[in-house]
Amino acid sequence: MLFNKALFSVWSLILLFTVTQQATAKDDYDRLLDLSAVTQQIQQIPSVFQAAIQESYSQNPVLPYSSVEKLIKSTQEAFVAKEIQSIVKTEIGQKVSKQDIKELFKWYESDLAKKISREEAAGSTPQAYEEISINGHTLLNDKEKVAFAQRVDRLIEATEFNMALQEYTALATLSSLMAATRPNQQMDMPGLKAMIKTQIQQARPQVEQQLILNNVYSYRNLDMKELAKYEAFLSTPSAKTFHKAMMEGMKKAMESAITKWASILPTAIQSGQQ
């Protein structure tokens, strides 16, 4: 609920006005998520996790495939696009003002913004990630696009977001698996956190490069004049507010989903081995 106001039935006109305002605001935020391609990208999250499990299994099949099937099913239970979007929308509703929305709509309703949103949505599919893994070296040859992608990464703090998310994912899943497989062994949580943080930080250059590749791939069909306009938009106060709220909402949503996933991982693996 974007507005949590007490509704008094004695003033039916005020009630009607308040409900109308709630519905309108909700519609605006839904529309904003749709126009910015956030909705489409959120819908891809479950399939991206499933593809990652499949790829990991193909490279290192340490588990029986029956366990992999259970793992894939567990992601369907934990990473529910509708739930993720609800959390993101709530965060945006709390941080993005009506004036911000007006400014954002001016951009996102433009032909260029719609074109960029389509490219970003297409660049967040499992098929796109597969193409990136194959053609990554050629993408890096486009120095202008690489420089643009690096500036955007700093602007929206995408690497920082992904580093924090990876650290949380590793901690949640490992601690859950260790608790299930070693129930009588006391867990050294501070030590586990320190180990994970060190390993994740060591992977920072690879994470940053992967994000750069993702952006270069997404914007490969756009010229630099178009991207310059996009960068100018991303630098506006309204866009910064929106992207910060969206990232914070996504972080909360993903942490919630990952916590849920971690809690069902041991059962999924064990049932697949039976």
In the chain, the N- to C-terminal Cα span, in Å, equals 44
Per-position b or e across 211-231, b if 16+ CB within 10 A of its CB: bbbbbbbbbeebeeeebebbe
Does residue 145 contact residue 216 with C-beta atoms inside 8 Å?
yes
DSSP class of 222: S
What is the per-residue pLDDT for 26?
Answer: 52
Does residue 63 contact residue 221 with C-beta atoms inside 8 Å?
no
Q: Hey, is 185 helix, strand or coil?
A: coil
What is the per-residue pLDDT for 219?
Answer: 93
CA distances from 127 to 123, 131, 133, 214 (A): 8, 6, 10, 12
pLDDT digits (tens, 9 = 90+) for 63-100: 677 877 887 888 888 889 999 999 999 999 999 999 99
What's the whole-model pTM score? 0.72
Question: How many Å apart are CA 54 and CA 220, to the nearest integer?
Answer: 27
Question: How many Å apart are CA 195 and CA 175, to the nearest integer?
Answer: 12
What is the per-residue pLDDT for 271?
Answer: 67
Residues in the chain: 274
Query: Tokens in use for 273?
Result: 């081995």
pLDDT digits (tens, 9 = 90+) for 148-200: 999 998 888 888 888 887 888 777 777 766 766 676 777 777 888 888 888 88
Please name the residue that has the structure tokens 């698996």.
Answer: 177
Which is nearest to 41 in space by CA: 95, 122, 101, 100? 122
User: What torsion do the CA atoms of 220, 224, 226, 230 make, to the nearest 10 degrees?
Assistant: 90
Does residue 236 contact residue 103 with C-beta atoms inside 8 Å?
yes
pLDDT digits (tens, 9 = 90+) for 219-273: 999 999 999 999 999 999 999 999 999 989 988 998 888 888 888 877 777 665 5
Does residue 161 contact residue 250 with C-beta atoms inside 8 Å?
yes
What is the per-residue pLDDT for 64?
Answer: 77
- 117 has pLDDT over 80: yes
What is the per-residue pLDDT for 233?
Answer: 95
Question: How many Å apart are CA 84 and CA 86, to the nearest integer?
Answer: 5
CA 266 to chain centre: 24
Kind and range of the H or E element at 188?
A: none
Q: Left if phi > 0, otherwise alpha if psi is -120 to 50, otherwise beta: which for 157?
A: left
Which is nearest to 113 in space by CA: 35, 5, 166? 35
CA distances from 13 to 7, 16, 24 (A): 11, 5, 16
Which sequence spans correspond to the domains of the chain?
A: 12-273
* 23 compared with 38, residue with greater pLDDT: 38
